């Protein structure tokens, strides 16, 4: 069975990945699944298992990756590939990879698919794969930060035009009051309006955007279908159960 690990920044990333794995790659939660360790979220298919590990924010991701590579030879699970799911923030393409090379000590040869083969002391090779929350040119009109919230906002903006106009007016009022509006602020405001009556135990607003909100899911599918992000994430999924 193919064993993989994806390290993410926080719980919102897990909620988004869970929905994408389920809606696009046929993942279903196993009824007899062993309770995972704290901070770990396993995703299983008949021929593959991917563990999503939640870091304590972006600065903690490199530590987790370096430690995993260092200990992979003696670890209980011998991962064949490691995914790094992160917010590129102000960086694009090559600059985002520069962050990985520097912070995660991955000075190898990155190919065009965002993959860096790393040799382990036992002679095996583990593929490190960049999974930045940046879906490419379609979001270039959105300035500043490239992150999960920006992807979610772009999807919501395609979902309901009237709702988008309402949020824009609310944001203008917040800004006119001298308050700083970040991507997270904008997303939380939109989530408060659109998902006010949703049970938070269903995974929160990010889970709604990435799979549970039917209208948003339709918009998301049109965005993800040819994205680099989705093609890379597919490497971490297996064959759906019959």
Over residues 35-48, the pLDDT tens digits come to 677 889 999 999 99
Average confidence (pLDDT) over 108-137 = 81
For residues 4 and 236, the answer to whether their CB atoms sit within 8 Å is yes
The answer, yes or no, to whether residue 142 has pLDDT greater than 80, is no
pLDDT number for residue 108 = 67
pLDDT number for residue 81 = 94
For residues 134 and 127, the answer to whether their CB atoms sit within 8 Å is no
SS3 for 60? Answer: helix
| Higher-confidence position of 150 and 9 | 9
Round the average pLDDT of the chain to a whole number and report it: 84
Q: How far apart are CA 136 and CA 235, in angstroms?
A: 19
Q: CATH number of the domain at 2-135+227-236, please?
A: 3.40.50.10620
Q: Closest Cα partner for 239 from 52, 6, 80, 47?
A: 47
Backbone angles phi, psi at 223, to 5 degrees: -80, -40
For residues 136 and 228, the answer to whether their CB atoms sit within 8 Å is yes
The answer, yes or no, to whether residue 137 has pLDDT greater than 60, is no
The confidence band for 95, taking pLDDT boundaries of 50, 70 and 90, is: confident
Over residues 204-234, the pLDDT tens digits come to 899 999 999 999 988 888 877 778 888 999 9
The confidence band for 22, taking pLDDT boundaries of 50, 70 and 90, is: very high
Residue with tokens 């190898």: 108
The answer, yes or no, to whether residue 60 has pLDDT greater than 90, is yes
pLDDT number for residue 129 = 92
Rounded to two decimals, what is the model's pTM?
Answer: 0.88
Question: Tell me, what DSSP letter sits at residue 233?
Answer: H
The answer, yes or no, to whether residue 135 has pLDDT greater than 70, is no
Average confidence (pLDDT) over 121-134 = 85
User: Where are the chain's structural domains?
Assistant: 2-135+227-236, 137-223
Over residues 69-86, the pLDDT tens digits come to 888 877 778 899 999 999
């Amino acid at each position: 069975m193919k064993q993989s690990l994806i390290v993410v920044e926080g719980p919102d990333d897990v909620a988004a990945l869970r929905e994408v794995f389920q809606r696009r790659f046929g993942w279903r939660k196993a009824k007899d699944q062993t309770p995972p360790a704290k901070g770990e979220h396993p995703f299983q298919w008949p021929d593959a298992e991917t563990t999503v590990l939640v870091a304590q924010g972006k600065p903690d991701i490199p530590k987790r990756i370096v430690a995993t590579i260092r200990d992979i030879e003696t670890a209980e699970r011998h991962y064949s590939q490691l995914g790094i799911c992160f917010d590129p923030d102000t960086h694009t393409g090559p600059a985002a990879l520069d962050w990985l090379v520097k912070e995660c000590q991955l000075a190898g040869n990155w190919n065009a698919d965002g993959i860096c083969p790393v040799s382990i002391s036992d002679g095996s090779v583990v593929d490190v794969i960049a999974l930045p929350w940046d879906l490419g040119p379609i979001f270039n009109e959105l300035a500043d930060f490239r992150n999960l919230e920006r992807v979610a906002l772009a999807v919501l903006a395609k979902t309901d035009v009237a709702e988008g106009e309402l949020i824009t007016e609310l944001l203008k009022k917040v800004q006119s009051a001298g308050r700083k509006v970040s991507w997270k602020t904008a997303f939380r405001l939109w989530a408060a309006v659109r998902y006010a009556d949703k049970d938070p135990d269903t995974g929160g607003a990010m889970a709604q955007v990435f799979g549970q909100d039917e209208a948003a899911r339709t918009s998301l599918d049109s965005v993800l279908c040819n994205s680099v992000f989705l093609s890379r994430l597919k490497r971490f999924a297996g064959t759906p159960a019959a």
